[in-house]
Structures are given as C-alpha cells and as structure tokens.
C-alpha cells in the first residue's frame, strides 16, 4: 500500500519514461547497477519496475543515512527492505569493510531477491559517469547466477541535485539495458570497464 | 443543464458531432489503406482522434462545472507545459531554487489571482515582479556561466507556459455588459476556434500542402495555412451567437486568433529545432507533449483577451 503510493508519487515527480531492453518480467535474480547523481536514483529505478518485481528488488544503501530518524528507518526496513551497509568504521581497514559489505549483499539476495547498486559509490554532480568501485565485480563473482543489468538514469541530477532537498519536477528517462554477458575468469578491471561502457552506451543511445 | 447553458450545450454537441465524424472517417481510412507509410499516417491520425476525445471530454466538463475547475485545469496544463519546457532548457544547478519557485509558488499564485479576480496583479506578476525576483535569486546563486541565456530561458518559459496560458481562464474575470456570467462560452469559443484551426491546417496541409512557409517546419505549408485559417474563421463567424460579438467581429476575432495560433506553433517549433527534439513530451498519444498541443493557444489567448477587454469591457 505505502509502497504503491510511494512508487506513484515518485513516477509523478520524476516524470520518468521507462524503456526496457531486456525482459522486465524475467524471474531471474538480478543485480541492477545504475549511474548515481541524486538521492532519488534508487527510488526511481525501484518505482519503474513492475510491482511484482519491485517487492523482491532491494536497494543497497549506506547505514549512516538510512538508519537515523524514524521515517527513514521505517522506509528502509519495511518499504524498500534496503540492504544497509557500513560505509566506514567498524572493520579494521577499508578493504575489510568492503569485503564484509559484498558478503552481506550476496547473502541478503537469498533465493529470490534482486539488488540495486550504484558502483560509482558517490553521487556525480555534473551528470558524468565516474569510475566504478570494485564492489560490483566482487558481487557478480559471489553470485554468478544473477543477471547483471545496467540501468541508465537521465536528468535525475537536474531534478534533485546533490545538496538540494526540494525537487524540480522535470522529465526524466530510465533505460534498462540488456544483460551484461558473463565472461568466466575475467579480470576485475576489464569487467568494471565493460560494465561502465555498457552504461555509457545506454546514455549515448537513450 | 439550466436554460442559460443551452448555448454551451450546443457547442459541446457540435464538438461531439465532429468527434463522431472524425472517428468514423478514421475507421474508414483504417480499412482502406494498404501501403505501410499510409498506414502509419492513418494510425497516427486515429491516435490523435482518440486523444481528442479525452481532451474534449476533460475540457467540456471543466468549462461547464464552473470557474474553479477551469482554473485548476489550466493551472495543471501550465505545470505540465512548464515541466516540458524546463526539461529542454539549458539549466544549471544554480537555477534550482528559482525553478522550484516557478513550479510551486509562481504557477499557483498566478492562477489564484484569477480566482481572486485581481486583474491588476494578474497582468504584471510574472512580467514585472517574478522576472526581477527570479533574476535576483539566480544571481545570488553566483554562477555566471551563460547567465543571460539561463535567466532569459527560464523567464520565457514562465511567460509562455504560465502567463500566456493563464489568459484562457482569465477570460472568466471579464465583465461585458449584456454578457454577464457567460464568459465560459467565450473561453469555449477561443479554444474551439484555435484548436479547430490547428486540425484544419493539418488536414489542408496533408491533402494539398506543397509550398512550405519556412524551413522550421516542413509540415506548415501555405496551402495548409490559408485553408485552415479560412475554414476556422468561417466556423468562428458561424458560432457568433455564442459570443458577445457580431458575426463580422466574431470572424475578425477568429482570424486574429488563428493567425496568432499559427505563429505560436511556428515559434514553438523553432525552439524544438534549436533544442534538437521533435516533440516536447509524450504525454498525449499521437500529439506529443502538452506543449505540442497548446502551443497555438499560448500565443492566441493573451491577444484575444486584450482585444476583447479593450473593445468590450467598459
């Protein structure tokens, strides 16, 4: 109920045109990865999904932001069923904390769930797509059964840019690309470059 | 409907008859065409006719339910049009606050002023106060790159999408002796003549159009313009009984608004060309965006309002 209302409100604000270049209704577990420029990004992807899949598609988000305040915590835990990860502290080193986060994500996917991740790690301010962190590679290795799907978001950086709290309701576009074909024993850098190229290609052809 | 509304009912009945004829014609065309390109054209025509049904029902309901509903309808159209315009505008993050105000403060206030019947403020709010205020806000944001282009684009967006469009329900504010409380009919007259002119220009252009008027839009031809404007002017004169005008004045008014409407379509096409798009949006199947449908109305409404006010309001 709340999820449906929230999805409708989000579609209204983002005025999103949704284009699928893969089967939207496939039952496979998926790892959706998108370009990150706005706090609205994951909600826009989430609300663009068919309702049946929405229920099993969970965003990966920073605990520091989503675990404070009653409303945020409620939304993260009950509506989006977000996988909250530590961005800093806790683990001894950054590498340890990243490895723990990937293990959490792979585990939380379980038998049914899909994930939404933003491999740039932080929001871009100018609409360009930055370099990818390695989490996406490790997650894809940990869950080779999941389909890796690029999702390009256009104009979200203008609707709710970094540092603003009120949205300007411009029109946006969400493009779900075809599955990134899995290649066995692909080196990390090659995989990440290929994933980023897939997003850039969606951007160019949208 | 109460007796005074018989004129409105007659106008609505005329629109209904037109839609039925268009739907039947579309169905016959659909059955008769063979080639792929003709089929695409016919499918587009039928999509347009279906959208016309929806738009006509919404408009007729709004006009006949009263001023509040008409004002809300046009404020929503302004909101959607502004959204399409701003999406194409070369904005920067420094414009964010000014844009937020445009959508959520300026647009509602402009339409509230019609509801409050405050003509003096209605007519200068956006051209004077908002132009100054938004320029100040954008300047305070500090980003000077393409400053003139950005502020000018945002101001023109508000002028076209909000200020000009609001002139349609603003007709409800006018007090014409002998025509009291009948302004919804004049609003109907304006929208009907302008939109029919668009349709007729399209029909004449598709059937006889040879010579394009300008390089901006190959679909706008001299044949389409002359045929469409002549027919729409004739229709405007023929429904003079719905207006405070004599048949001759009704024809003159119809001529002015159809020519203004044509100019509006041309100007909005020039903006689309500049921004490299074919349509402003995809909300209305077959037509494109809201702005693609109301572009002619934007430029016809203010002129129609002021001519009527100058000559008919004491």
The model's confidence at residue B1, banded by pLDDT at 50, 70 and 90, is very low
- CA–CA separation, B243 and B179 (whole Å): 8
| Residues of B with Cβ-Cβ distance to A169 under 8 angstroms | 79, 83, 103
B111-122 pLDDT, tens digit each? 999 999 999 999
Which residue in A has a C-alpha nearest to residue B99's C-alpha? A168
The whole-number average pLDDT for the span B236-245 is 95
The reply to whether residue A164 touches residue B96, judged by beta carbons under 8 angstroms, is yes
Res B125: pLDDT: 97
Please check the confidence at residue A90 and state whether its pLDDT lies above 80: no
The whole-number average pLDDT for the span A177-189 is 92
The string of DSSP codes covering A90-147 is SSSSHHHHHHHHHHHHHHHHTTT-EEEE-TT-S--SSS---PPPTHHHHHHHH-TTSE
SS3 A172: strand
The whole-number average pLDDT for the span A59-67 is 83
Biggest distance spanned by C-alpha atoms of chain B? 62
For chain B, say whether A128 makes contact (Cβ under 8 Å).
no
- List for chain A the helix, strand, coil content (%; round to 5): 40, 15, 40
B89-98 pLDDT, tens digit each? 989 989 999 9
Query: Which one, of B192, B229, B246, B162, lies nearest residue B63 by Cα?
Result: B192
The model's confidence at residue A92, banded by pLDDT at 50, 70 and 90, is low
Please check the confidence at residue B3 and state whether its pLDDT lies above 50: no
For chain A, say whether B154 makes contact (Cβ under 8 Å).
no
- CA–CA separation, B217 and B219 (whole Å): 5
Res A200: pLDDT: 94
The reply to whether residue A161 touches residue B86, judged by beta carbons under 8 angstroms, is no
For chain B, say whether A155 makes contact (Cβ under 8 Å).
yes
Check residues A4 and B187 and name the one with the higher pLDDT.
B187
**B235's torsion region: left (phi>0), alpha (psi -120 to 50) or beta?**
alpha
Please check the confidence at residue B124 and state whether its pLDDT lies above 50: yes
CA atoms within 13 A on the CB side of A113: 19
Lowest-confidence range among A52-61, A122-131, B225-234? A122-131
Of B83, B91, B97, the CB nearest to A169: B83
Tell me the Cα Rg of chain A. Answer: 16
Cβ atoms of B172 and B184 within 8 Å: the answer is yes
Residues above pLDDT 70, as percent of chain B: 99
The whole-number average pLDDT for the span B121-129 is 97
The reply to whether residue A125 touches residue B93, judged by beta carbons under 8 angstroms, is yes
For chain A, say whether B91 makes contact (Cβ under 8 Å).
yes
**Terminus-to-terminus CA distance in chain B, angstroms?**
30
Res A122: pLDDT: 83
| Residues of B with Cβ-Cβ distance to A173 under 8 angstroms | none
Res B247: pLDDT: 96
Q: Which residues pair with A17 in a beta bridge?
A: A173
- CA–CA separation, A109 and A28 (whole Å): 12
Interface test with A, best of B99, B107, B145, B283 (most A CBs within 10 A): B99
Please check the confidence at residue A194 and state whether its pLDDT lies above 90: yes
The whole-number average pLDDT for the span B173-184 is 91
**Average model confidence (pLDDT) across chain B:** 93
Rounded to a whole number of angstroms, the distance from the CA of A168 to the nearest CA of chain B is 5
| Residues of B with Cβ-Cβ distance to A170 under 8 angstroms | 83, 86-87
The reply to whether residue A169 touches residue B96, judged by beta carbons under 8 angstroms, is no
The model's confidence at residue B288, banded by pLDDT at 50, 70 and 90, is confident
Res B281: pLDDT: 85
The whole-number average pLDDT for the span B209-225 is 88
Cβ atoms of A204 and A171 within 8 Å: the answer is no
The model's confidence at residue B4, banded by pLDDT at 50, 70 and 90, is low
**Average model confidence (pLDDT) across chain A:** 88
Q: Is the ipTM here above 0.90?
A: no
| Residues of B with Cβ-Cβ distance to A125 under 8 angstroms | 93
| Residues of B with Cβ-Cβ distance to A164 under 8 angstroms | 93, 96-97
Burial annotation A168-180 (CB, 10 A radius, 16+ → b, else e): bbbbbbbbbbebb
- CA–CA separation, B16 and B5 (whole Å): 16
Please check the confidence at residue A88 and state whether its pLDDT lies above 70: no
For chain A, say whether B292 makes contact (Cβ under 8 Å).
no
Check residues A29 and A92 and name the one with the higher pLDDT.
A29
The position carrying tokens 């929208």 is: B191
The position carrying tokens 């069923």 is: A81
Please check the confidence at residue B194 and state whether its pLDDT lies above 80: yes
Res B140: pLDDT: 94
A9-50 pLDDT, tens digit each? 888 777 888 999 998 888 889 999 999 988 889 899 999 999
Rounded to a whole number of angstroms, the distance from the CA of B226 to the nearest CA of chain A is 36
Cβ atoms of B290 and B281 within 8 Å: the answer is yes
* Cα dihedral A149, A120, B89, B96 in deg (nearest 10): 130
Res A78: pLDDT: 85
- CA–CA separation, B85 and B279 (whole Å): 11
Residues above pLDDT 90, as percent of chain A: 44
């Amino acid at each position: 109920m709340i999820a449906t209302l929230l999805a409708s409100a989000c579609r209204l604000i983002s005025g999103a045109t949704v284009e699928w270049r893969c089967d939207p209704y496939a039952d496979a577990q998926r790892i959706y990865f998108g370009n990150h420029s706005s706090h609205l990004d994951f909600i826009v992807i989430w609300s663009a999904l068919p309702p049946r899949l929405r229920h099993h598609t969970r965003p990966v988000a920073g605990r520091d932001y989503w675990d404070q305040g009653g409303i945020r915590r409620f939304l993260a835990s009950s509506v989006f069923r977000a996988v909250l990860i530590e961005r800093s502290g806790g683990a001894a080193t950054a590498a340890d904390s990243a490895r723990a986060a990937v293990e959490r994500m792979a585990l939380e996917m379980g038998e049914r769930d899909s994930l939404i991740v933003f491999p740039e790690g932080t929001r871009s301010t100018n609409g360009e797509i930055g370099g990818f962190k390695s989490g996406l590679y490790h997650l894809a290795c940990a869950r080779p059964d999941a389909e890796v799907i690029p999702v390009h978001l256009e104009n979200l950086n203008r609707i709710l840019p970094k540092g603003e709290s009120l949205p300007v309701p411009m029109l946006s576009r969400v493009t779900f690309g075809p599955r990134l074909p899995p290649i066995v024993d692909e080196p990390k850098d090659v995989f990440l470059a290929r994933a980023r190229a897939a997003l850039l290609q969606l951007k160019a052809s949208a | 409907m109460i007796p005074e509304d018989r004129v409105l009912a007659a106008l609505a009945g005329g629109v209904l008859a037109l839609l039925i004829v268009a739907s039947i014609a579309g169905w016959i065309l659909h059955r008769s065409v063979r080639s792929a390109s003709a089929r695409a054209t016919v499918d587009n025509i039928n999509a347009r006719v279906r959208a016309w049904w929806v738009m006509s029902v919404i408009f007729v309901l709004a006009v006949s339910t009263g001023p509040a509903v008409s004002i809300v309808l046009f404020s929503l159209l302004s909101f959607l049009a502004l959204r399409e315009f701003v999406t194409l505008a070369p904005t920067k993050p420094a414009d964010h606050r000014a844009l937020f105000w445009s959508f959520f403060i300026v647009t509602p206030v402009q339409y509230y002023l019609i509801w409050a019947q405050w003509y003096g403020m209605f007519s200068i709010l956006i051209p004077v106060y908002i132009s100054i205020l938004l320029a100040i806000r954008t300047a305070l944001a500090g980003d000077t790159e393409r400053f003139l282009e950005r502020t000018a684009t945002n101001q023109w967006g508000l002028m076209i999408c909000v200020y000009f469009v609001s002139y349609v329900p603003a007709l409800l504010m006018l007090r014409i002796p002998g025509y009291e409380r009948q302004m919804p009919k004049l609003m109907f007259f304006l929208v009907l003549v302008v939109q029919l002119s668009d349709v007729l220009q399209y029909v004449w252009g598709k059937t006889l159009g040879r010579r394009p008027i300008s390089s901006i839009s190959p679909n706008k031809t001299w044949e389409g313009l002359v045929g469409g404007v002549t027919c729409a002017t004739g229709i405007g004169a023929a429904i003079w009984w719905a207006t405070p005008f004599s048949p001759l004045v009704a024809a003159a008014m119809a001529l002015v608004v159809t020519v203004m409407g044509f100019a509006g379509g041309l100007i909005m096409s020039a903006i689309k060309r500049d921004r490299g798009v074919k349509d402003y949006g995809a909300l209305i199947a077959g037509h494109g965006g809201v702005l693609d449908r109301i572009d002619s109305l934007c430029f016809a409404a203010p002129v129609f309002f002021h001519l009527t006010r100058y000559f008919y309001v004491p």
